Amino acid sequence: MSAALPSGSWILLSGCSRGLGLTLARQVLTEGGQVAGLSSKPHANLQELQHQHGSRFYWQALDISDSGTIDQVVNRAAQHFAGAPLWGVINNAAISIDGVLATLPVVDIERVLQVNLTSAIVLVRSALRLMLKQRQGGRIVNISSITGSRGYSGLSSYAASKAGLDGFTRALAREVGRLGITVNSVAPGYMRTALSQGLNESQLQQIVRRTPLGRLCSTEDAAHLVQFLMSEQAAFITGQVITVDGGLTC
């Protein structure tokens, strides 16, 4: 079963330089799709994608915490893919600042909420303006986390941001469904990515032991579901928060 994007379309992907974002970019490009990737800094991985896929991969630097620049960045991506429809958005960029809430600086709380929630909403807002003009439907997938529904000690701000993202998903699905645009959240379990660096090996192995399928979530596990939700085959799935965690939270 192919989960390719509609022919000639492109997607907007934040947090594309590593981890799940990089896996998603590679999968979409391999299927013949076009990707406008956003990340805070250039990376050798991105140069590799540009070398392999040419103009089908367009990268822009974006400080996702600076909401005021998002409209400009999205418009430049649209200019690069001139004439091609924007099919959807994958909100993947996120940060996590570990710490007990009582001693966590307010500036850290605000940054987590700004990057993970506010800027994600603003990015979708900007993309929707293009998608609504096109009148061709589309897809929005927000990368959430099981932490948003289950919590984890020391990650209260991160959990709050992901729970907020899931609420945004449900509300926006009702708002844009009549236009043929679906909105879903994918909530992966714990992965070996930059976001899990606060967990030591003992904690990760404890998670593995509690997981019925006996391993951590891989970026490929989550990416396959995201790619399906972005496809035309997922046209009747919207407003959902879908967990990919090997049964950890069942």
* Residue 218 domain flag: yes
Work out the percent of the chain whose per-residue pLDDT is above 70: 96
Which of 5, 230, 200, 20 lies closest to 140, judged by CA?
230
Q: Which tokens hold the place of 107?
A: 């500036």
Cα gap 76→73, rounded to integer Å: 5
Q: Is residue 4 part of a domain?
A: no
Q: What average pLDDT does the segment 208-230 reach?
A: 94
Identify the CATH number of the domain in which residue 111 sits: 3.40.50.720
Q: Look at the chain and report how many structural domains it folds into.
A: 1
Nearest to 140 by CA among 173, 118, 116: 173
Residue 249 falls inside a structural domain: no
pLDDT at residue number 11: 97
- For residue 81, the enclosing domain spans 10-244
In sequence order, the 6+-apart residues with CB closer than 8 A to the CB of 121 are: 168
Question: What does the alpha-carbon distance between residue 68 and residue 36 come to, in Å, rounded to a whole number?
Answer: 19
Q: Output the average pLDDT for the chain.
A: 92
Sheet holding 138-143, edge to edge: 57-61, 34-39, 10-14, 86-91, 138-143, 181-188, 241-244
Nearest to 232 by CA among 180, 173, 178: 180
Whether the per-residue pLDDT at 195 is higher than 60: the answer is no
- What's the whole-number mean pLDDT along residues 8-17? 95
Residue 141, pLDDT > 70, answer yes
pLDDT tops 80 at residue 94 = yes
What CA–CA distance (Å, rounded) separates 88 from 12? 6
Nearest residue to 20 via CA among 145, 118, 117: 145
Instruction: HSE, CB side, 13 Å, CA atoms: give it for residue 42.
Output: 5
Between these two residues, 203 and 215, which has the higher pLDDT value? 215
Residue 7, pLDDT score? 86
Closest Cα to residue 186, out of 246, 229, 218, 232?
A: 229
The answer to the question of residue 2 being in a domain is no
Predicted model pTM: 0.93
Per-residue pLDDT at 218:
93
Task: Kindly report, residue by residue over 101-119, the tens digit of the pLDDT.
Answer: 999 999 999 999 999 999 9
Percentage of residues of the chain with pLDDT beyond 90? 76
Which residue, chain included where needed, has tokens 């600086």? Answer: 105
> What is the band of 1 on the pLDDT scale with cuts at 50, 70, 90?
very low
pLDDT tens by residue, 43-70: 899 999 999 999 999 999 999 888 889 9
DSSP conformation letters of 3-43: -PPPTT-EEEEES-SSHHHHHHHHHHHHTT-EEEEEESS--
Please state, in angstroms and as integers, the Cα–Cα distance from residue 185 to each residue in 74, 204, 242, following that order: 21, 24, 6
Cα-to-chain-centroid distance, residue 87: 15
Using the predicted structure, report yes or no on whether residue 231 has a pLDDT greater than 50. yes
| pLDDT, mean of residues 15-32 | 94
Return the pLDDT at 250: 84
Cα 180 to Cα 215: distance, rounded to the nearest angstrom = 37
Active-site residue, selected from the candidate residues 58, 152, 158, 190? 158
Cα Rg of the chain, angstroms: 17
| 3-class DSSP assignment, residue 179 | helix
250 belongs to a structural domain: no
pLDDT recorded at residue 202:
83
Asked if the model's pLDDT at residue 196 lies above 70, the reply is: no
158 catalytic? Reply is yes
pLDDT digits (tens, 9 = 90+) for 116-130: 999 999 999 999 999
